[in-house]
Amino acid sequence: MSRGDSETLFEIRDLEVSFDVGKRGFFSGTRKQLKAVDGVSFDIRRGETVGLVGESGSGKTTVGRAILRVIEPSGGQVLYHGRRGDLDLAHATSEELRAARAEMQMVFREGGLDLAPLGPRALRPLRSRMSLVFQDPYSSLNPRMTVRDIIAEPLVAGGLMRDRGQIDARVREIAARCKLDLEHLRRFPHAFSGGQRQRICIARALVAGPDFVVCDESVSALDVSIQAEIINLLKDLQEETGVSFLFIAHDLSVVARISHRVAVMYVGRFVEYAPTESLFFHPRHPYTHALLSAVPEPDPDLPFRPERLQGEIPNPADAPQGCRFHTRCPFARPRCAQEVPDWRELTSDHYVACHYAEEFDFRRARETAHTDPVKEREPT
Amino acid sequence: MLTVENLTISFRTDEGRITPVQDVGFSVAEGRTLGIVGESGSGKSVSTKALMRLLPGNAEIGREARMRYTSKSGEDIAIEALKPGSRALRRLRGGEIGMIFQEPMASFSPVYTIGNQIMETVRLHRGLNGTAARDLAVEMLTKVGISNPGARVDQYPHELSGGMRQRAMIALALSAGPRLLIADEPTTALDVTIQAQVLDLMRDLQRDLGMGMIFITHDLGVIAHVADDVAVMYLGTIVETGTAREVLKSPAHPYTRGLIKAIPRLDRLDARLEAVPGDIPSPSARPTGCPFHTRCAEAIAGLCERVTPPEVRLAQGRRVRCHLHDETRAVA
């Protein structure tokens, strides 16, 4: 991390998001509610990448969007600690920029600003402080805009810059940082490959110098050889700009590589949140353990013994009582079906929601003898 | 049981001819699994679709292509010579060679129950009718681990979860009793815990039924645990083949090496990932010579971009298409 090491950027407290899922009967008028996110609490530090993993329907995308206020939370707080005066836009010289800055400072207060109750107008000046990179780089770029206009859009829409020359300079700078060919700025997105498109999306997300970017399955659609490059790029950009990422993905090995801390979600709740090393090598929740054991590693010598979970992931509209994992947990006891486990800090910075976490010690082997077969056979 | 040689497939498109598969050869033995790995555009799906003769109308299979399949009754079938719509071809599809696709929702008909669709297959390929067909459908669903099969058999595909649907898809493919199963990214759309269940199931079934299997995936982790042999594809050619263990442990082709280094692994968190430089070229702009030379760090100037590398045989039946391994190169 480059700066402001342990400074908190976001505090999320008991975040809840529910969706209406259609009426029960035509005349009854009672709506059924689906709690996609049910009481999630965690914090995100400045310059940090928080990984969020979970299987489909766990609510990980919803958490990311609720923090950005793309969707409305139905409960809880999203406290945002703004940068107060230190905007970190590379070219913070223009009048417009200063004005935008002053406007934003007004809404930052001691103790953080709760985004959850803010209306669209109040959120407006904050929009350029946060951004989103989507999964599919094919559908998230407007085919009728040039790459230059796509990347410039947040600056224009946020009213951060008005001078064309200034915008061009900023676009060129961020494009170069994202390893895009400056010649390409005049072209349209259809001319680009998946990896190049994702670099355009990243440039667009970072052009306004945000504090926070949600990457929602941003490398999942890419081929392995391209994926590695995007992961490295995101890491470098974080080093340079101090931006925080919420990195949402279902692929655990990708998340492990990019995140400082990782949260595991299961049917609308967090089950574990810990620094990457301790989560991956010393998980405390049976679900985290099962998830990790199910990842096949590309090494035929490593035994592949996935923890056999019974049954399927429950439907969030019909979530189990007590601990939500108890229906599939190999260690479930009667208490698990009745009492919701507390979200507690088991050891320093290691949070878990399990009644019996103290008893579990699922240590995972690190790579032992470090012989790299690839290097050994290098032809001469 | 299946041998493919010199398979070249090209498509006529508005932008001209593209050749997504060039001179591909592989074979599958009874009871063994061939894993085909490759990234997008490598031609791994297209080449197996050719085996079922399921290519679209604008596709052409090259004249030198040979696809030999030995049927259950022991007769040799030249797949490339079968007439479209012929009885022999229909018997081959499903009855001899079964197929499982990535997205089960797209391969089931939404307007018939799961049972109906399995029973149709059973009727066509096994000549069973009425209760006998239904009993077999229930038996197949039980075999793939679907709970309460007696009730599930009357449900529609949309009533099942993703993992269930993929199990039902496997039951459907197996109900015709194929000798060879082609699985095209069967677990890619599934969550990891469900993927682990389905992989387990497929391995068990293959062992019990002694089928040959072609398993197509982009995930080398999956390959390491299901495949006996592996073929690595890049831009329509097989760059390397061998046993899965050999290829993953000591990859011979620079592309395979790059791919393995680029995979993030869970037991090594600290090291920086080594990306394969550059982008995958589009199939319409296929590089000359070795298709990988544009991204290869070890490319030999003046050779790799001009000359298509020959297939070089290495120890233990491994084969690689790379000039670096070609000892006759200096002489030539």
Taking the domains of chain A in order of start, what are their residue ranges?
260-380
Q: Which amino acid is at A158?
A: G
Q: How far is it, in rounded angstroms, from Cα A40 to Cα A74?
A: 12
Chain B residues inside the 8 Å CB shell of A295: 192, 221, 266
- Residue A84: is its pLDDT beyond 80? no
CB-defined contacts A:B, below 8 A: 158
The pLDDT value recorded for residue A1 is: 36
Burial code of B296-305, b = ≥16 C-beta within 10 A, e = fewer? beebbeebbe
Residue A197: name the closest of A209, A172, A179 by CA.
A179
What band does A378 get if pLDDT is binned at 50, 70 and 90?
very low
What is the share, in percent, of chain B residues with pLDDT greater than 70?
A: 99
Give the Cα separation of A149 and A157 in Å (integer): 11
Asked whether residue B127 is domain-assigned, the answer is yes
For the segment A106-152, what is each residue's pLDDT rounded down to a tens digit? Answer: 444 445 778 877 778 778 777 888 999 998 888 899 999 999 999 99
Whether the pLDDT of residue A53 is over 90: the answer is yes
Q: Is B315 part of a structural domain of the chain?
A: yes
> Which residues in chain A are closer than 8 Å to B219, comparing Cβ atoms?
296
- Closest C-alpha to A106, from A125, A89, A87: A125
Q: For A197, which residue in chain B has the nearest alpha carbon?
A: B279
In which band, very low, low, confident or very high, does the pLDDT at B154 lie, cut at 50, 70 and 90? very high
Residue A103 to residue A115: CA distance in whole angstroms: 16
Q: Which of B147, B204, B240, B269 should one mutate to test binding to chain A, selecting the residue with the greatest count of A CBs within 10 A? A: B269
Percent of chain A scored above 90 by pLDDT?
54
What pairs with residue B61 in β-bridges?
Answer: B9
Higher pLDDT, B238 or A96: B238
CB atoms A297 and B325 under 8 Å: no
Considering B134, B158, B177, which residue would you say is the last residue of a domain? B177
pLDDT confidence bin for B36, thresholds 50/70/90: very high
In a domain, B296, yes or no: yes
**pLDDT score of B201 more than 70:** yes
Q: What value does the mean pLDDT take over residues B288-305? A: 93
Which residue would you say has higher pLDDT here, A291 or A368? A291
> Chain B partners of A371 at a C-beta cutoff of 8 Å?
none
Enter the CATH code of domain A260-380.
3.40.50.300
pLDDT over 60 at A373, yes or no = no
On the question of pLDDT at B16 being above 90, the answer is no
DSSP collapsed to 3 states, chain B: CEEEEEEEEEEEECCEEEEEEEEEEEEECCCCEEEEEECCCCCHHHHHHHHCCCCCCCEEECCCCEEEEECCCCCEEEHHHCCCCCHHHHHHECCCEEEECCCHHHHCCCCCCHHHHHHHHHHHHHCCCHHHHHHHHHHHHHHCCCCCHHHHCCCCHHHCCHHHHHHHHHHHHHHCCCCEEEEECCCCCCCHHHHHHHHHHHHHHHHHHCCEEEEEECCHHHHHHHCCEEEEEECCEEEEEEEHHHHHHCCCCHHHHHHHHHCCCCCCCCCCCCCCCCCCCCHHHCCCCCCCCCCCCCCCCCCCCCCCCCEEECHHHCEEECHHHCCCCCCC
Whole-number pLDDT of residue A377? 39
Mean predicted confidence (pLDDT) in A53-62: 90
Partner B contacted by A283 (CB < 8 A): no
Q: Is A219 on the interface with B (CB under 8 A)?
A: no
Nearest CA in chain B to A296: B221
The total domain count for chain B is 2
**What one-character DSSP code corresponds to residue A313?**
P
pLDDT tier for residue A80 given thresholds of 50, 70 and 90: confident
Give the 3-state DSSP-derived string for A246-291, with helices as H, strands as E and coil as C.
Answer: EEEECCHHHHHHHCCEEEEEECCEEEEEEEHHHHHHCCCCHHHHHH
Per residue in A153-193, pLDDT tens?
999 988 888 889 999 999 999 999 999 999 999 999 998 88
CA distance A181 to A172: 9
Classify residue B87: in a domain, yes or no. Answer: no
Beta bridge partners of B320: B240, B312
Looking at B130-139, B148-157, B225-234, B260-269, which range is the least confident one? B260-269
Distance, in Å, from the CA atom of A19 to the CA atom of A65, rounded to the nearest integer, reads: 13
Q: Is A320 helix (H, G, I), strand (E, B) or coil?
A: coil
In this structure, of A280-289, A371-380, B16-25, the range with the lowest mean pLDDT score is A371-380
Nearest to B169, CA basis, from B194, B200, B192, B146: B146
Q: Which ipTM was obtained for this model? A: 0.85
* Residue B88 domain-assigned (yes or no): no
State residue A94's pLDDT score. Answer: 53
**Rounded mean pLDDT, B186-214:** 88
Q: Using alpha carbons only, what angle is made at residue A167 by residues A165 and A173, rounded to the nearest 5 degrees?
A: 105
User: How far apart, in whole angstroms, are the C-alpha atoms of residue A291 and residue A282?
Assistant: 13
Instruction: Reply yes or no on whether the pLDDT at A25 is more than 70.
Output: no
For residue B147, the chain A residues in CB contact (below 8 A) are: 311
Contacts of A235 in chain B (CB under 8 A): 272
- Mark which of B153, B177, B201 sits at the end of a domain: B177
Cα distance from B195 to chain A (closest Cα, Å)? 8
Q: Which domain holds residue B289?
A: 256-331
CB-based contact, A172 to chain B, within 8 Å: no
pLDDT at position A83 is: 59
CB contact under 8 A, B199 and A296: yes
Burial A338-358 (b: 16+ CB within 10 A, else e): eeebebeebeeebbbbbbbbe
Do A207 and A171 touch, CB atoms closer than 8 A? yes
- DSSP class of A297: P
* Interchain contact, A374 vs B221, CB within 8 Å: no
**Separation between Cα atoms, residue A140 and residue A134, nearest integer Å:** 7
At what angle are helices B162-175 and B130-143 packed, to 10 degrees?
A: 130
Task: Please check whether residue A53 touches B, CB under 8 A.
Answer: no
**Residue of A223, A361, A41 whose CA lies nearest to B262:** A223
Question: If you ran DSSP here, which 8-state letter would residue A206 be given?
Answer: H
Reply yes or no on whether the pLDDT at B253 is more than 90: yes
Residue B294 lies in a domain: yes
CA dihedral B266, B269, B274, B278 (to 10 degrees): 70
Interface test with B, best of A136, A198, A219, A223 (most B CBs within 10 A): A223
